[in-house]
Copies of this chain bind each other. A is one copy, B any other.
């Protein structure tokens, strides 16, 4: 059987690849060279202030890892392999000074037979030379366009929520492994579910290594165990008496009747089977085995009803973006996932699990795993398999124009095939996607881009049962809104387009009600982080009032995105509540707006079902503590109040109100339409929904809507109801929907009413 031999690495840097580092320090593996160096040199916390800038010089040096290998680690008849799931990014592998591998790309595993490498009679030195961070010559220096000729994730080159800090190195485990010469190189059980879900056609495929060294009549069997651990199906390869013929691929086709299905969160159980290939020698001893899990589900993208083209000249219906799992159309509720640490080497199952668990608790069923970040490590997908979170997985392309360059395409080809072959085994994988915003003006790619045609072709060849999108958004889908209120020049496109409703500025509730997209795969509402977190990253003297410099700037409070005040936007808080007088008020104002905005957008997207089929906000989590941003969860895994507001908005069955804006003036009509939202394949009984609007001064009766039975996976909409507002003072108003006999479906919303003659300050309230 196999044996793992750990390696003890040290790391140092050099500016000349041919010269050894002057100094080395202990390396964490998995880990990142930059972090190892910082720890050894006592750098201050990279999360505080603008300390991350101290890492800037590390981008352009070679990092050299070295470890010694004791002589003869392999026994007679064994082989010894150098193994890693990936090394970030371009590197050379040297054994006793001789290069045995040069690879560009962090997603292609390394599995190298070094049994016969020179030096095996004495101790050897293994070195891994990591190249400087890839930067294209045509890109502006210091921008996140620099990785546009590589498959290096762009985010660490700086983003509006990620500082410029580029990790590299042995971010996955690296070790030596001893194996019997004859063993399983790779084995996989794949399946295709029948249209009616009544059976799965299973394809087994295994490759055996060193077939010439087979130790007599060996046997290879495959077993499928159900969720209780009982054997559900099995197959013996080769001949019952002679065993297997070791040459060539071992293949088999089996039919498995009535598989228990895997369902996304909220729609059923996440049933996972276990698939085991076992290779045994003539005495029946196990030589090698491969184990993985299978969740049976059928995954398609189908057309969104109502997204059709009419009239001449006629274009075409909008592309499908409704996820159909096991023949059930599912509204995708969720968020954009980013890797939870800047230092990717430190990410473990423990980094992922609280976040995935919170997603399940928020009634989410999908993560869009965004293409600016690396493809997550295996535990992420394992957890999503278990918690029922579908994963929309993007390749590492984002916001750049990745050109039709043969060298780049070679790397992308190799890396993408490695990614597909690793991730396709997971039940949670629901969608492949080329990358982020590649068809938008700032990227400039399109359907003709060779990189995207290549990715489509590779996904088709290696995993055709999973849908593929070239990018997000494609035609009909939308990214945005990203702010609560659209007042400043940057957002005047609607106003400029002549829509009079937007003439005086508008909020995200208005914009989303009018949007009519097929899927909202990014939208956001910013808020400041909690005061406690702010104090941990911003020097006390800078805390209040916030300024566009120092730690507020470094942590994306200002000049992060469009306009100089993103993501804090203090003027938006001031517009509604007046000038915040202290940090506590600022945090409370922006966090209440974030709650209102997110609640409004998530529910509005759901109200637009079935034409609209997805609501995935930007973004879920963050890899370091931002001072302000659109995230629902602060680093490392602390929910903001908006998380709980969204959690309420994502209940599978609930009452919901469409109100087209947030702020009113006394004398205006307050209009609301009510909905019963039903994401479950079960009907909701007829009910009465009473709607009242409570202000400081009074309670308005809006309606008592007699909702009929709501069919499975459908919504129901009321007429529009209206009351005239009459408020003597500026105030908050709370809209309450009460559902007869179903209080768990009740909902609440907050609005503002102003009276021109009032100077009364409005104080935020909680929506949770």
Contact = CB atoms under 8 A, between A and B. Distances in A.
A244 to B, nearest CB: 28
Contacts of A420: none
A312 B450 contact: no
Which of the listed residues A315, A441, A480, A520 has the most CB atoms from chain B within 10 Å of its own CB? Answer: A315
A523 B312 CA distance: 9
A314 B444 contact: no
A491 B312 contact: yes
A486 B312 CA distance: 10
Contacts of A317: 439-441, 446
Contacts of A437: 316
Interface string A314-334: 111111100000000000000
A456 interface: yes
Interface string A439-480: 111001011101001101100110010011111011111111
A494 interface: yes
B448 A314 contact: no
A504 interface: no
A709 interface: no
A151 interface: no
B467 A448 contact: yes
A616 to B, nearest CB: 12
A517 interface: yes
Contacts of A453: 456-457, 460, 464, 468
A450 B464 contact: yes
B523 A313 contact: yes
Given A441-B308, A468-B453, A478 B448 contact: no
Interface in A384-402: none
A599 interface: no
Contact of A468 (B303, B448, B517): B448
B493 A311 contact: yes
Nearest to A495: B311
A349 to B, nearest CB: 33
B312 A480 contact: yes
Contacts of A491: 312
Contact of A450 (B311, B316, B454, B460): B460
Interface in A478-494: 478-482, 486, 491, 493-494
A344 B685 CA distance: 63
A580 to B, nearest CB: 26
Contact of A301 (B303, B319, B448, B482): B448
Nearest to A478: B313
B319 A440 contact: no
B460 A315 contact: no
A313 B441 contact: no
Contacts of A310: 493, 497
A471 to B, nearest CB: 7
A310 B497 CA distance: 9
A511 interface: yes
B481 A313 contact: yes
A203 B319 CA distance: 38
Contacts of A517: 313, 315
A568 to B, nearest CB: 19
A475 B309 CA distance: 10
Interface residues of A, number: 58
A752 interface: no
Contacts of A460: 450, 453-454, 457
A478 B303 contact: no
A540 to B, nearest CB: 36
A110 interface: no
A300 interface: yes
A470 to B, nearest CB: 8
A313 to B, nearest CB: 3
A477 B315 contact: yes
A303 B457 contact: no
Given A303-B446, A448-B320, A448-B468, A313 B439 contact: no
A64 to B, nearest CB: 36
B480 A515 contact: no
Interface string A285-313: 00000000000000011010000111111
A437 B311 CA distance: 15
A512 interface: yes
Interface string A163-199: 0000000000000000000000000000000000000
A473 B303 contact: no
Interface string A36-76: 00000000000000000000000000000000000000000
Contact of A446 (B320, B515, B520): B320
A755 to B, nearest CB: 31
Interface in A89-144: none
A482 B312 contact: yes
A478 B444 CA distance: 22
Contacts of A313: 478-481, 511-512, 515, 517, 520, 523
Given A456-B456, A461-B457, A497 B311 contact: yes
Contacts of A511: 312-313
A300 B464 CA distance: 28
Contacts of A523: 313
A440 B471 contact: no
Which of the listed residues A454, A460, A469, A520 has the most CB atoms from chain B within 10 Å of its own CB? Answer: A460
A444 B454 CA distance: 25
B479 A303 contact: no
A314 B478 contact: yes
Given A301-B448, A450-B464, A468-B448, A316 B440 contact: yes
Contacts of A319: 439, 446-447, 475
Nearest to A450: B464
Contacts of A444: 303
B473 A316 contact: yes
Contacts of A468: 447-448, 453
Enumerate the 10 nearest inter-chain pairs by beta-carbon distance, A residue then B residue, closest first.
A313-B478, A312-B480, A457-B457, A316-B439, A311-B493, A475-B475, A313-B480, A310-B493, A453-B460, A312-B481
30 contacts: A300-B448, A308-B441, A309-B440, A311-B494, A311-B497, A312-B486, A312-B493, A312-B494, A313-B480, A313-B481, A314-B478, A315-B473, A315-B476, A315-B477, A315-B517, A316-B474, A317-B439, A317-B440, A317-B446, A319-B439, A319-B475, A447-B469, A447-B470, A448-B467, A450-B460, A453-B460, A453-B464, A456-B457, A457-B457, A457-B461
Interface of A: 300-301, 303, 308-320, 437, 439-441, 444, 446-448, 450, 453-454, 456-457, 460-461, 464, 467-471, 473-482, 486, 491, 493-494, 497, 511-512, 515, 517, 520, 523
Given A300-B448, A313-B520, 19 more contacts: A301-B448, A303-B444, A310-B497, A311-B494, A311-B497, A312-B482, A312-B491, A313-B481, A314-B473, A316-B473, A316-B474, A317-B439, A318-B475, A319-B439, A447-B468, A448-B467, A453-B456, A456-B457, A475-B476
